[in-house]
Structure 1
Amino acid sequence: MDADFDYATEFARLDLDELQRDLFAAMTDSQAWWPADYGHYGGLFIRMAWHAAGTYRIADGRGGGGSGAQRFAPLNSWPDNANLDKARRLLWPIKQKYGRSLSWGDLIVFAGNCALESMGFETFGFGFGRDDIWEPEEIFWGPEDAWLGDERYTGERDLSGPLGAVQMGLIYV
């Protein structure tokens, strides 16, 4: 983005009702290249929003759903983010339609919110205002010596904890 870009100004031009209608329509528009489960992408969009939020680090404030970082490496290739590229691809026509008026951060999280609403869950509103990052360097997680390393384990390697907790961060265990 250019230096004088102001997301709040661009966002003010957005028709939120139209955006919500577009998201609701996208959720039931099953694509041959990635068919919707039972005719609805709601679960996929909720998972995408959940995983975007799940990347937040308290230590330095990086990650999370607030910057659209999920579209960059290494987050987009983490094993627990498998197939979320399909969710972002499903949202791409909506992102193209609204352009600079809608950040990826807002779109990803709002898609999850709309998915809940479209399946009957009553939400309590939504807060927009997530500025996107535009360079993968802004999500630097430190050097990667080995992909999904497990150096913290030694000895006989008996399972003392749930299988998969090394990579999945205990979010599903």
Structure 2
Amino acid sequence: MIQLIKATTKTDAHTLSLLAKEIWEEHYTAILGEQQVAYMLANLQSETAIFNELTQGKEYFLVQSNHAIIGYLSYQLLPDQLFLSKLYLKQSERGQGKGRLLIEKLKDIAKKNKKEQLVLTVNKYNMNTIAAYKKFGFELVKEQVADIGGGYVMDDYVLQYRLIKKSGTSRPDSKEI
């Protein structure tokens, strides 16, 4: 059983930063390189950065399974969407359907809050994760490049999952990835 434990304290921020270090170094070093991962951990996923986001109203959750912390996620409720900022699982927990369960939980949260869609960004070269999101029903909306400082960018796809289907609409701006 998967549980979401809301992060609220400095101690939670510390735990989240340790999880980020473990997961990001293992998963993203091959995609982004060691230096960019170190930069992002220090500037975006440090204890201080996470605690600042918590105090500014961003929702962070520790993901627990069988009484063990296996990952974390973060989202924001925006006017018409739930924006999934982060969903990271330890390597040993991937490929077991836990990501799908978390997406289902997020869909429920979005529906309860009357949101039309889930939206997320994913690195263009993170092929396994892109394939998983596509399998979960997400579609490509656009590409975006965001400057994160230090000479680094996030080169992402923006994906969406529509909770409320609009009849008769097509997506001319989407393309197969």
Question: Does TM-score exceed 0.5, indicating one fold?
Answer: no
Q: Answer 1 or 2: which has greater strand percent.
A: 2
Task: Select the structure of larger CA radius of gyration.
Answer: 1
Shorter-chain TM-score tier: under 0.3
Structure 1 length-normalised TM: 0.26
